[in-house]
Structure 1
Amino acid sequence: MAMGVHSHKRGRNAKRAPMAEINVTPLVDVMLVLLIIFMVTAPLLTAGVPVDLPDSRANALPQDEEPLNVSIAGDGTIYVGESAVPQGDLGAALATASEGVACSEREVVLRADKTLDYGRVMGVMGELNLMGCNSISLVTNSSSDSI
């Protein structure tokens, strides 16, 4: 019982003093479950477009500011952030997503499905280069296997 009433005297006129005990075990249990839920779901919130990334042994690069995310899904659809871009409108979508910051001053993170043709990925990288995006990072899954 979390709170009870104790009495030192017996009978009708005995004064009852409240016992101030709080059981913190259920609180700790709930907090640990919430912590586990957040630890599991947090990595899933970083990328909105599901892409099957290739594996690589390269180390992650440090990031100072939020990069501009460009993704190419397995069917060849290009996404800027989480919104799909119609064929040929990559430049307009990048201008809208970069919020007035020139593409040459902002890092672009390119995520491409590993089942895509190499030429499709290089075509998108060429379009990004034509728009002035010269700092392009390719995202991969980490892997300990050697090539």
Structure 2
Amino acid sequence: MRTRKRRMMNQINVVPYIDVTLVLLVIFMVTAPMTNPGVVELPKVGQALKQTGAPIVVTIKKDGMAEINGKRLQRDELLFEIKKQLETKERPVVVAADEKTQYGKVVEVMDLLKQAKVDKVGLLFKPAS
């Protein structure tokens, strides 16, 4: 009678792990669209807001030039004027741009306001009738 010796297996069978991984992948793919990613409640237009003072209005014309109080200003002058007006007290700044103004010009003004360390910046628009 001859007895066979069993050889040790030196490999790991990964097929069950792949099966489990694929099942988990399918479960996550099915349940992901059902989850509700956080709900954000936006303020409604026309809502009364508390203002501490009259805001500084930066107007951007169609040609991309910026104005404060009807005075046309270049980029450096605009930054200086905003800093000068904010020295006395903390005031919000509102950007009013013509609807035909290039988006990049509005972003440039917003960047200037960030450089001037303005905390409260808003966009002025005409509410829909």
Q: Normalising to structure 2: TM-score of the pair?
A: 0.58
Give the match's secondary structure for 2:122. strand
- Structure 1 partner of 2:106: 121
Aligned residues: 85
- Structure 2 partner of 1:71: 59
- Structure 2 partner of 1:137: 122
Give, as a single letter, the amino acid of the residue that structure 2 aligns with 1:115.
Answer: K
Distance 2:120 2:50 in 1: 13
List structure 1 segments (4+ residues) > 4 angstroms apart after TM superposition: none
Where in structure 2 are there 5+ consecutive unaligned residues?
1-43
Pick the structure with more strand per residue. Answer: 1
Q: CA RMSD in A?
A: 2.0
Give the 3 Å change call, closer, same or farther, for CA 108–77 of structure 1 in structure 2.
Answer: same
Q: Deviations over 1:59-91 (max 9, x none)?
A: 253423111111101111101122111243211
**Identity score, percent:** 26
Q: Normalising to structure 1: TM-score of the pair?
A: 0.51
Matched, 1:106 2:91: yes
